[in-house]
Structure 1
Amino acid sequence: MTDGRQAAERQVHQWLDEYSAPNASAAYLLCDRYDRDAVAFTLVEPDLTSTPFTHGELADESRAMATVLVAKGVERGDRVPVLLGKRRELIVALMALWRIGAVHVPLFTAFATGAILLRVEGASAKVVITDASQRDKVDPIDAVTVLDVDDLAAESVGAEPFSDDAVIGGDGTLVQLYTSGTTGKPKGVPVPLRALAAFQTYQHYSLDVAPDDVFWNAADPGWAYGLYYAILGPLVGARTSLLFNAGFTPDSTVAVMKTFGVTNFAGAPTMYRALRAGADMSGVTLRRASSAGEPLTPDIVEFGLTQLGTEVRDHYGQTETGMVIGNHWQSDVALPLKPGSMGQVMPGYAAGIVDGQIALDVKGSPLLWYTGYDAAPEKTAERFTEDRAWYLSADTGKVDDEGYFSFTARDDDVILAAGYRIGPFDVESVMAVHPSIAEVAVVGRPDPEGIRGEVVEAFAVLNTGFTASDDLATELKHLVRDEYSKHAYPRTVHFVESLPKTPSGKVQRFVLRREGAGL
């Protein structure tokens, strides 16, 4: 182990000791301990106007909103889904919840009512925070109180500052983020406060976000990579983060980079592919460029070198772990890129290959914070070896003699589309309610345009009395788009006589992927 790596491991343990303490407070670690005049976020609107948002402003506004939330019945330990875009009030609402000791449940703004309902029910939530642009998706959900964040902000003006900040300790739950697999409803991943040590390690050693960087992680905070590393990582590490309150387009991304002089950028491979496909990159020069969400192809590395001024470095992780393997940027741990590899294990972790899967050595990984899914012991057991010595990623891979890991395939059937992980069950459960559907199975296949990584394809068996047609296929696509999520609707619907199954009745999605390739 090099001297730099040893120093990194020592730093990791210092962070972990601090954030695991029994008296640890989220509000203190993420906000109150910092210079009030230091800028926490640069808030950028679609027209590229911007506002600096300081730690002091965040502290004051979140204390006032916490008082209002408590008056409306929000209590310590409550799971509170938040459906907001990347705006100032999102950060204020999250910090207010953490002051109370409530648990943030992230919701992606592209979700339709069906996807929101699954997470609201899974979290047993009694309150949802949203705004006017998203409210129509939440109002149909019974037995939940909808709070408009703009009303909360208005009521916060002049409110008595909340002064009883919750001390939840390192094992207290900060976030409950939902992920999807191949069967069953989305699984809740409780994220403890001590996970901040892992997020700061990734920000410092893998992303190498320096104090003078203009840092922009363009991922959406409704998902793990955006929440962990565009909000939580920058807050705990006292690094200014740029938040752009708009969806991704190549032109707007380039405009933000140029207008604000972005030097350190992180995003999904689909973003880089879209930029490469035709955006004018002249005038963009990055010090660091990082990618996560799906395997990075060599052409994107070359694009970075020729168009961005730096290579694009691939990183690997999961909702359950955060990032754990990568082509790290920081000089203490940086190593040369190896084509096709996602890099080496991050400080604070030990990894290997177990039963063909990328796996983390539990005892050798002090930063590993995942202990199980919420109220799902059987699903949790699938993530560990029987002796719980190894965390199993369900992603197959390999590692060479120099410690470079490579991803080979997913051992489950999660679809990676445009950097998002889509569970087939979620899409299938929406399509199955249509009266024409007898059975349906959903798979991911390589995007023929090479932009999104994978696209969703559905294979449907029709009930008697229904006839396959282009109109019916369009109707089913719209059903998923409108009732579940815009990012998850099937781009193609194949009508088939039957679905391939094992003797026990389990759908063989690998057969559908193979058969679909020949259609």
Structure 2
Amino acid sequence: MQPHTLDVQPVVDAWLAAYDTPEADVAHLACDRHDAGALAFTFIEPDLTSRDVTYGELAEKSRRLATVLAGLGVRQGDRVPVLMGKRLELPVTLLAIWRLGAVYVPLFTAFATGAARMRIEASRARLVVTEPSQRAKLDPIEGIEILETGPAFDRLVSDAEPLASSVAVGGRGTMLQLFTSGTTGKPKGVAVPARALASFHCYLHFGLDVSEDDVFWNAADPGWAYGLYYGVVGPLVSGRRNLLLNAGFTPQSTVAVLERFGVTNFAGAPTMYRALSKSGLVRDVHLRRASSAGEPLTPDVVDWARETLGTEVRDHYGQTELGMVINNHWHPDLARPVKPGSMGQPLPGYTAGIHDGQIAIDVGNSPLLWFTGYHEDPEKTEERFTADGRWYLTADSGRTDEDGYFFFTARDDDVILAAGYRIGPFDVESVLITHPAVADVAVVGRPDPEGIRGEVVEAFVVLAEGTEANDDLAGELQQLVRDNYAKHAYPRSVHFIDALPKTPSGKVQRYLLRQR
């Protein structure tokens, strides 16, 4: 795939010049350089009461909290995990950590103690910041100090002197450390340098087309990459307000926020759109832009969105290690017609291709690429790059067409090899989900018990409410795939289960299904 022919290089160069310098001060770039009176976030409570917060308020509170954290021993380079919902203290803590040159480590609020402990210990953290509703998860973890929000926290912050100046870590200095979602095994540490701000800014501009007039809502949770990169950090550096709803996802609450706040630009996971499409609740929502990331969109969701939301949902592709890199871009300068099943073309600043069947990023021709390896894990890092260092390998199988569109097939280890055919689970799932009895579905390959086909296709189906599992329904689903996709790809077995195993960010853990 060739780079974009449109002359967007000056824009990319300008962002790199701003964010990839030895003098890069993340708190300044994300907050202090903006108009103090401009809105940064609108925080929404479950009852839909809300509070607007300006950059000036974030700056003042984060400078004072930085003094508190420094008094607790936080120094440049220290990892500081934060277990917190979408509340004001979250971006305040993020900025305070950056003012000290320290590294923010997100912890998802749905984590149990074990998941939090793994990330805290891997970060070698001494201090964790949390809120009262999450405190009990941290108490069993030894060797850490806990700073908890509440009245005492507020007094500490208000009584502290504002930090006079912040630390410039430089473009290559680490600002975030995330852990991969564990779709295929143990989560790996991803250190994100300050220069990644250029890539995040580029995606908000070209990929999502967040304009000054938009009411933007990235509804993904900031405990994971998409919500943190593009619901908190990206809006901050771009000077674009985002809504943050301090509640978990439900179709009811999502529709209520979309309607009450007049959202015009919405981004979320495919599972959100699927749940909305099946809820029957969306009636008075009209969006200018709608975007999805995390897993491929099934065609039924795309068709529903055009009719119900007044716009198509555009699929975007990325990873914790990359941010978003291949998109059906929304910006008018780059927007092209959407092809069903395609995730689009590379983001400006990236060049992508297919290497040994995998979607890959051309390292030398991708100036916005910021990932250089997993934190303290050279063996896993080596797996991500070709021996000559030219390609970053995503471990996702895919293809391109004659027009340069990219198509996702499957995680490389999810591809099903049956009787000489390569079958992508997504293709089969896209057919099965169209059946009215199917609420959710995942397809995997497992060894053929007869030893003839190599692997056989098996489907795990979550039924819609009020539907009964029976052999006739299983036969209907098998025939649906034969008639609408391919005879060789129909599921030899259909298993009806209560719920699919998923990571906390909503990605199906197919490797667990293969073990059943």
Name the TM-score, length of structure 2 as normaliser. Answer: 0.81
Letter in 2 for 1:27: A
**Structure 1 residue 186: Cα displacement:** 2.1
Please tell me whether the aligned partners of residues 110 and 486 of structure 1 are also in contact (alpha carbons under 8 angstroms): no
Structure 1: distance between partners of 2:325 and 2:380 = 21
Q: Which residue of 1 aligns with 2:61?
A: 61
**TM-aligned CA distance change 1:116 to 1:487, over 3 Å:** farther
- In the alignment, what sits opposite 2:99? 99
Equivalent residue of 1:117, what SS?
helix
> Which stretch shows the higher mean deviation, 6-15 or 53-62?
6-15
In the TM superposition, 1:224-303 aligns within 5 A as 224-303=225-304
Local SS of the residue matching 1:42: strand
In the alignment, what sits opposite 1:368? 369
Partner Cα separation in structure 2 for residue 450 and residue 317 of structure 1? 30
Q: CA deviation at 1:409?
A: 1.0
Cα deviations by residue, 1:61-108 (Å, 9 ceiling, x for unpaired): 000010011111111111010000000011111110000111001100
Distance (whole Å) between structure 1 residues aligned to residue 389 and residue 295 of structure 2: 27
Partners of 1:229 and 1:220 in 2: CA distance: 10
Shift of 1:300: 1.1
Residues 112 and 485, structure 1, Cα contact 8 Å, conserved in 2: no
How far is the alpha carbon of 1:9 from its aligned partner? 2.4
Please show how residues 13-412 of structure 1 align to structure 2 within 5 Å: 13-150=13-150, 151-181=152-182, 185-412=186-413
- Note the alpha carbon deviations across 1:246-271, whole angstroms, 9 max, x for none: 00000100000000000000001110
Find the residue that maps to 2:365 and give its secondary structure. coil
- Contact 2:232–2:242 (8 Å) recurs in 1: yes
- Percent identical: 59
Distance 2:130 2:405 in 1: 43
Is the partner of 1:157 in helix, strand or coil? helix
Distance 1:295 1:449, change over 3 A: farther
**Tell me, which stretches of 5 or more residues in structure 1 are unaligned?**
418-443, 452-472, 491-507
Deviates more, 1:73-82 or 1:148-157: 148-157
2:379 and 2:43 mapped to 1: Cα distance?
42
Opposite residue 321 of structure 2, the aligned amino acid is E
CA contact (8 A) 2:3 2:351 kept: no
How much has 1:181 moved relative to structure 2? 4.6
Post-superposition offset of 1:280: 2.0
How many residues are treated as equivalent by the alignment?
445
- The residue identity in structure 2 corresponding to 1:10 is P
Deviations 1:309-354 (A, max 9, x none): 1000000000000000010000111100011111111111000000
- Output the amino acid matched with 1:64: R
State the secondary structure of the residue aligned to 2:6.
helix
Shift of 1:489: 11
1:489-509 superposed Cα distances (whole Å, 9 cap, x missing partner): 99xxxxxxxxxxxxxxxxx95
Q: Are the structure 2 counterparts of residues 129 and 489 from structure 1 closer, same or farther at C-alpha, using a change threshold of 3 Å?
A: farther
Say whether the 8 Å CA contact 2:3–2:348 is kept in structure 1: no
The worse-fitting range, judged by mean Cα deviation, of 288-297 and 181-190 is 181-190
2:90 is aligned with what amino acid? L
Q: Contact between 1:19 and 1:197, CA under 8 Å: does it hold in 2? A: yes
Distance 1:485 1:138, change over 3 A: farther
- Distance in 1 of aligned mates of 2:210 and 2:400: 27
CA offset digits 1:112-136 (Å, max 9, x no partner): 0000011011111111110110000
Change (3 A) 1:74 1:3: closer
Runs of 5+ consecutive residues of structure 2 not aligned to the other structure: 416-424, 430-457, 466-496
3-state SS of paired residue (1:6): coil
TM-score between the two structures when normalised by the length of structure 1 = 0.81
Asked if structure 2 preserves the Cα contact closer than 8 Å seen for 1:111 and 1:486, the reply is: no
Q: Secondary structure at the match of 1:257?
A: helix
Amino acid of the structure 1 residue aligned with 2:148: D
Aligned partner letter, 2:357? G
